[in-house]
Structure 1
Amino acid sequence: MTGEISLPRGALDLLCPMHALLDGEGRFRHAGPALLRLGGGGLVGQRFLDVFAVTRPRGVDHHALLRAPMRLQLELRDHPDTTLRGIAMPVADGAVVNLGFGISVRDAVRVHGLGGSDFAPTDPTVEMLYLLEAKSAAMGAAKRLALRLEDARAEAEERALSDPLTGLANRRALDLALARMGAAGEGVSVMQLDLDRFKTVNDTMGHAAGDEVLRQTAQIMANAIRGDDMVARLGGDEFVLVFKEITAPSRLAAIARRLISALERPIPLAGGEIRISASIGIARAAAAEPWLPARLLGMADHALYRAKRAGRGRYFLHGPITGTGGGTGGTDTLQVRE
């Protein structure tokens, strides 16, 4: 059995909110609510092809829309980025064109402010939009979580490689840095430094004063190095300074003298000021074959012992280490009291 069904416009607007009723000249007689929103509201009376450009098939004019059913690909002339798909169906006094967005729906919703009521209740677009938004929200949450985890990892790494009292590098950071330099055979010098008379500060003024002295002396040492150098606190009043590509005895002696002089200046504390000094042992590794960090630090420790035995405020320069065999290059030593 065949026949025609007549629908009130309200029902057609609900079932097909993106439809257009065209007259025999291809002008809008009526437009669904979503299509009105898309066209800014003033569609009635305009030619359909003045509002939309048909990109496929080519050469479509308003007469073609009225002759036979036709699938269309279109774009809004005022918003060429908004692409649509549709089908035109001729009727007795014109044509009905029903449109949809296809895969461009997300951009269309964003650009034109469309919502769930602008789509037919049976249109899967609403569910697709929900899934897209849920995916976007999940990706955003995952990205934020990844950033927080990265920040937490960086903070944990920094804590693991930093001395909590002074903010300097700690022993682990020093070992990692020297291991890299030793494996690469870089030229480097280390200064092992102990504070003289520091125990007296702790014994007479308390550990809080001792901690403040350590913080201030750490800042003095940090100011004495370049960007590529390092100063690390091993614990207590023991520090190691690492100087990349500085191995000349004269330069190392000058640095040691400046450090001792700076550390011997009065250090202000809440109860007045105190004076300390420092003893420094220096060891060098020439830029050549790989060398062993443990051997280099052992030489610096031995040089420090020699400096302490000679009295406070002294430095001692050990001969250079050569390669991984643990030897030293000659008897290049220097002991100075300024």
Structure 2
Amino acid sequence: MYPPPLNPALRWIAEIGADLPEAVQRRLRSGFYTSVVPLVVGSFNTTAVALVAFLRSGHPAFAAIALADLLLLGLRVRLLRSVNTSSGPIFATGLLWAALHGLMIALVVTSADVAMSIVALASGLGAAGGIIGRNFAAPRYAMAQVLLIDLGYKISFCLGNPEFLPLILLQTAIFILMNRAILKQQRTFAIQAILGEAESRRQSVTDPLTGLLNRRGLEDAFEARDGTTRNRVLFYLDLDGFKQVNDRLGHAVGDALLCDVGRRLCETVGPDETICRLGGDEFLLLTGPRDDREAGRHAARIITAIAAPYHIDASVYARIGVSIGIARENAAGDGSLAELMQRADKALYAAKTAGRGCYILHGADAAASPADRIGHAA
């Protein structure tokens, strides 16, 4: 969602920050889609000033600007719904609106209507403040909009009063520097907030020891189904012999061993499979649809990987094993993770009872065949 513009020039103007993670860029870019109110308020401001100027001067250009602004508003509101297509039109129409506003101010100033010029200038300053407050995520875009409005006044004023040009140039430089500082500050605060939220979210779904998902993370992954996935398979793993190693060699070694188990699981399973450390020496693995034979082969590979010796230090090796209970999601795909875990836990208990170092599918009467039974932990 919220892809960047395709046009190179617009892409540069609307750049969020190439050094930021893609998720952060999308989050910042989403701010340009989230509310129609600023667009409506900005457009009505321009339209109202243009109509008043038309009534005071009778110049048809002001009526044309008011009409164009309303038509542009309708287009901009419609574009907000296109969250999955290029955001180029969003930014292009935003620049066009700012140019219309700047043109309206320029025409008012050249009309020599002092009262109307003050109103138009106030309108431009209000629009600039709103732009800085809303569009800070794309600093170049925000600055371009503000300058299109601001220069409409300053250029037209200098054409009639050239003696003020040095002062106007100084004011413009100060104006740009001030707005850059404000944009940078707001953008920095927003990025820090998003990154902090993402880190907090990551910690809430991640096991701090192994870096794998915790139960909450698995629950989120389980619920994030696309509506077509059915018959997913849950592997419930319980390490054999881990407690003895932990008691004999200490908790530091035990923690390192759990991290090694997590790494071996990541190396053994596919990238689309979800691994979770449930707690202690228990792990869960959620995979896509598999028949019984495929599930058994997958479990056998896991048992083999976990059973390989672990190098503790120069002269010490540890061996552990794993027992696995396997359960399949119901065909309708409407069961809960808790129900699936309960069935897998029953199968795990049967595997432990059958001698450990083996797997059992839920509903089976016996452990896997001897060819698939990987020996017990040392």
Query: Which runs of at least 4 in structure 1 moved beyond 6 Å after TM superposition?
Result: 105-108
Partner of 2:272: 228
| Distance verdict in 2 for CA 1:107–1:238, change over 3 Å | farther
Distance in 1, matches of 2:319 and 2:310, equals: 6
Distance in 2, matches of 1:287 and 1:127, equals: 70
Partner of 2:175: 131
Gaps of 5+ in 2: 1-105, 111-147, 156-161
146, 153, 158: which one aligns with 2:197: 153
1:123-202 map, 5 Å: 123=167, 126-181=170-225, 186-202=230-246
Distance in 2, matches of 1:143 and 1:272, equals: 53
| 157-166 or 233-242, which deviates more | 157-166
Partner of 2:318: 274
Distance in 2, matches of 1:143 and 1:317, equals: 53
SS at match of 1:152: helix
Distance in 2, matches of 1:200 and 1:106, equals: 80
Q: Which amino acid aligns with 1:203?
A: D
Post-superposition shift, 1:182? 9.8
Q: Which amino acid aligns with 1:293?
A: L
Post-superposition shift, 1:125? 5.4
Count of aligned pairs: 220
Distance in 1, matches of 2:318 and 2:184, equals: 55
SS at match of 2:277: strand
Larger Rg: 1
Post-superposition shift, 1:245? 2.2
Distance in 1, matches of 2:150 and 2:246, equals: 74
Partner of 1:304: 348
338, 345, 353: which one aligns with 1:294: 338
Q: Which amino acid aligns with 1:276?
A: I
1:47-126 map, 5 Å: 103-104=150-151, 120=164, 123=167, 126=170
Partner of 1:79: none
Distance in 2, matches of 1:107 and 1:177, equals: 56
| Distance verdict in 2 for CA 1:124–1:105, change over 3 Å | same
CA contact (8 A) 1:170 1:233 kept: yes
Q: Which amino acid aligns with 2:301?
A: R
Higher helix share: 2
The answer to whether 1:259 aligns with 2:259 is no
Distance in 1, matches of 2:245 and 2:163, equals: 79
Partner of 2:253: 209
The answer to whether 1:240 aligns with 2:321 is no
SS at match of 1:208: helix
| 270-279 or 121-130, which deviates more | 121-130
Q: Which amino acid aligns with 2:306?
A: L
Distance in 2, matches of 1:182 and 1:305, equals: 32
Post-superposition shift, 1:143? 1.2
Distance in 2, matches of 1:194 and 1:138, equals: 55
Post-superposition shift, 1:261? 1.1
Q: Which amino acid aligns with 1:167?
A: G
324, 332, 335: which one aligns with 2:367: 335
CA contact (8 A) 1:184 1:290 kept: no
Post-superposition shift, 1:283? 0.3
| Distance verdict in 2 for CA 1:333–1:137, change over 3 Å | farther
SS at match of 1:190: strand
Output the TM-score relative to the length of structure 2: 0.52
Distance in 2, matches of 1:102 and 1:181, equals: 47
Post-superposition shift, 1:126? 3.7
Summarize deviations over 1:188-210 as a string: whole Å, max 9, x none.
10000010010101111000110
Post-superposition shift, 1:128? 5.0
CA contact (8 A) 1:190 1:242 kept: yes
260, 281, 292: which one aligns with 1:249: 292
SS at match of 2:182: helix
Gaps of 5+ in 1: 1-83, 88-100, 109-117, 320-331
Distance in 1, matches of 2:198 and 2:273, equals: 21
Post-superposition shift, 1:139? 1.1
What percent identity do the matched residue pairs reach?
A: 33
CA contact (8 A) 2:257 2:310 kept: yes
CA contact (8 A) 1:190 1:282 kept: yes
Distance in 2, matches of 1:282 and 1:303, equals: 6
CA contact (8 A) 1:183 1:290 kept: no
Post-superposition shift, 1:289? 4.3
Higher strand share: 1
Post-superposition shift, 1:183? 7.2
